[in-house]
């Protein structure tokens, strides 16, 4: 039994325009492009020019990316992506993401990103402000 996934389940949304060059021999969007589409959502959260999540001297790195392909994406067209925070650790955050075309979920992903100190290249704890922003992106536990 497959779980129904909807864009409305995610508090953060982004859009991408599919390009002809994203397609493969079968005429659908190449599976490698899905990672780039997921990246759009992460980058908009981490490097938002008005409210960057990465504080000075820190950067985020990907520790895990797990993708479930659910349907093909077709060119031409656009996709919408959704993202939410599943859990927050000391220096890492687990994100849940999904890509939609015409309202249908084409892929979902779990991504773990880790905050690192740019000088030492070692993980560094979230500040209270960053932790609070991440916690606000978690689904409520009501009902």
Q: Each residue of 66-113: pLDDT tens digit? A: 999 999 999 999 999 999 999 999 999 999 999 999 999 999 999 999
Confirm whether 114 is domain-assigned. yes
Range of the domain at 53: 7-135
Helix (H, G, I), strand (E, B) or coil at 132: helix
**What stretch of H or E contains 98?**
strand 92-101
- Considering the domain boundaries, does residue 68 fall inside one? yes
Tokens coding 88: 């927050």
Residue 48 — pLDDT band, cuts 50, 70, 90?
A: confident
**1: in domain:** no
Q: Is 115 exposed, middle or buried (CB count within 10 Å of its CB: 0-12, 13-18, 19+)?
A: buried
CATH of residue 102? 3.10.129.10
Q: How many CA atoms lie within 13 A of 74 on its CB side?
A: 3
Q: What is the pLDDT of residue 141?
A: 63
Distance CA 122, CA 124 (A): 6
The pLDDT of residue 116: 98
What is d(CA 93, CA 66) in angstroms, rounded to the nearest whole number?
A: 14
pLDDT at residue 57, as a whole number: 96
Looking at 38-42, 51-55, 89-93, 124-128, which range is the least confident one? Answer: 51-55
Listed residue (35, 34, 54, 57) closest to 45, CA to CA: 54
pLDDT in tens, 13-41: 999 999 999 999 888 999 999 999 999 99
> Does residue 105 fall inside a structural domain?
yes
How many separate domains does the chain show?
1
Q: What is the pTM of this model?
A: 0.90
């Amino acid at each position: 039994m497959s779980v129904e996934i909807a864009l409305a389940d995610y508090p953060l949304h982004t859009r991408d325009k599919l390009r002809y060059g994203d397609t493969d021999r079968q005429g659908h969007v190449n599976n490698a492009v899905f990672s780039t589409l997921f990246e759009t959502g992460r980058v908009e959260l981490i490097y938002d020019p008005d409210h960057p999540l990465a504080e000075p001297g820190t950067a985020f790195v990907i520790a895990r990316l797990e993708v479930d392909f659910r349907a093909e994406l077709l060119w031409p067209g656009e996709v919408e992506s959704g993202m939410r925070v599943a859990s927050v650790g000391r220096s890492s955050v687990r994100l849940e993401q999904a890509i939609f075309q015409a309202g249908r979920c084409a892929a979902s992903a779990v991504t773990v990103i880790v905050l690192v100190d740019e000088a030492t290249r070692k993980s560094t704890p979230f500040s209270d402000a960053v932790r609070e922003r991440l916690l606000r992106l978690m689904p409520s536990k009501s009902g």
